[in-house]
Amino acid sequence: MKILACYSNKGGVGKTASSVNLAYACAMSGRKTLLCDLDPQAASGFYFRVKPSKKLENIAFFKDQEKLLDSIRASDFENLELLPANLSFKDFDIFLDRMKKSSSRLKKALKVTRSEYDVVILDCPPNISMLSENVFRAADRIVVPVIPTTLSARTLEQLYAFFEEEGFSKKKLLPFFSMVQMNKKLHRETIQALRKEYKMLKPQVPFSTDVERMGVNRAPVATFAPKSAASIAYRAVWQEVEKHL
């Protein structure tokens, strides 16, 4: 089983859309996939119409393997299951802080899913915290959506610096451009600059109303707009990521 995290220390970069669409592409490639929503906003679950888990509250995520497995829900798509989040996930850092070996708790908690899935995708909340350290430790690879703007470039820089400082393997990081608007000069220039500095994934996901419509359709973009540029781009990103797993 491989763990793929979808992470950015900046909000609003298309993390959940990426998690949902990459999880769908992964499942469609024939891999048994679990999308694990770590974000208390529970948006991944919303996109799949799965209601927030009631049983998996507070510390249960890290302590109760049976409850964790019981909280997994089938999506409407083959090979794709979900571990929905709930509001109590906002206190993950508090729980982790109280526990021993607090930075490897997530890896330990996810061990129970190892025999069932080929890939577990983590949809992570946007901050650098105890939980994100757990994510960096547990994940085999981390996809980082980056909007080609100055602010996004700065947060990517911060992330690499953090990895350097904390001794995490930078090879795990797979940044890719998200919400790209090539008609904007700033986007074009930022892309050019960042590609020089970092090993960005080749495919880039365009800004798209189809991705926004995911909230209305409550489904991955490939299911209702399979030929859209965004859908094709997410599939291409997945195919690149797949090579690194």
Partner 1 sequence: MDVKIARPFVFMADLTVTRGQLQKKLPVDSSFTVMMEKGVKLTGHCIDTFDNLLLKAGKMLFEVNDTLMFVDLRAGDTAEQDVTGEWRFVDQLPDGPVTEELRKISLLRAFLPVGKVKLRFDSGLLLDDEQKTLARFRQLILKCGEKHLTLGVTAMLRGYTPEHQILVEILQKSGAQSCDSFEDLYRQLGIKDSSYTSKPDPGLAADTTAKNAAVTIISALLDVARQNEAGTAADIDSEFLHDYRVSLRKVRSVLSLFKGTFSVEETEVLKEQFAALMHPTSQLRDLDVYLMREEEYMEMVPESAREGIGLLFSYLEDERELALRTVVTCLRSEDYKIQMETLTRKFSKTKNLKNGPTSSRRAHEVGSKLIYKRYRKVCQIASGVNSSTPSSEVHQLRIHCKKLRYLMEFFAPFFPAESIGLLIRKLKKMQDTLGNFNDYSVQQHFLQKILKEKMDVFADEELTVSNSIGALTAMLHQKQLVERQKVEKNFIQFNSVETRNLFKQLFSSERGDAQ
**Separation between Cα atoms, residue 115 and residue 216, nearest integer Å:** 34
The dihedral over CA atoms of 164, 19, 123, 218, expressed in degrees to the nearest 10, equals: 160
Is 218 a residue that touches partner 1 (CB under 8 A)?
A: yes
Nearer to partner 1, 13 or 34 (CB): 34
Residues 221-240 that bind partner 1 (CB under 8 A): none
Letters for 160-199 (x = contact with partner 1 by CB under 8 A, - = none) are ----------------------------------------
CB 127 within 8 A of CB 41: no
Nearer to partner 1, 72 or 173 (CB): 72
Nearer to partner 1, 46 or 136 (CB): 46
Residue with tokens 């690879």: 141
**Separation between Cα atoms, residue 16 and residue 20, nearest integer Å:** 6
Give first-to-last CA distance, the chain, whole Å. 10
Per rule CB under 8 A, count of chain residues that contact partner 1: 12
Nearer to partner 1, 48 or 238 (CB): 48
Structural tokens at position 185: 């000069």
Nearer to partner 1, 48 or 92 (CB): 48
CB 146 within 8 A of CB 158: no
Residues 37-96 that bind partner 1 (CB under 8 A): 48-51, 70-74, 76, 81
Q: What minimum distance in Å lies between the beta carbon of 118 and partner 1?
A: 16
**Separation between Cα atoms, residue 154 and residue 142, nearest integer Å:** 18
Point out which residues pair with 194 in neighbouring strands.
none
Q: What minimum distance in Å lies between the beta carbon of 54 and partner 1?
A: 12
Is 213 a residue that touches partner 1 (CB under 8 A)?
A: no
Residue with tokens 């080609």: 148
Nearer to partner 1, 17 or 80 (CB): 80
Q: What minimum distance in Å lies between the beta carbon of 82 and partner 1?
A: 8
Q: What minimum distance in Å lies between the beta carbon of 81 and partner 1?
A: 6
Structural tokens at position 10: 């900046």
Q: What minimum distance in Å lies between the beta carbon of 7 and partner 1?
A: 26
The closest of 176, 171, 113, 138 to 4, measured between CA atoms, is 138
Q: What minimum distance in Å lies between the beta carbon of 66 and partner 1?
A: 13
**Separation between Cα atoms, residue 67 and residue 179, nearest integer Å:** 36
Q: Residues interacting with partner 1, by CB under 8 A?
A: 48-51, 70-74, 76, 81, 218
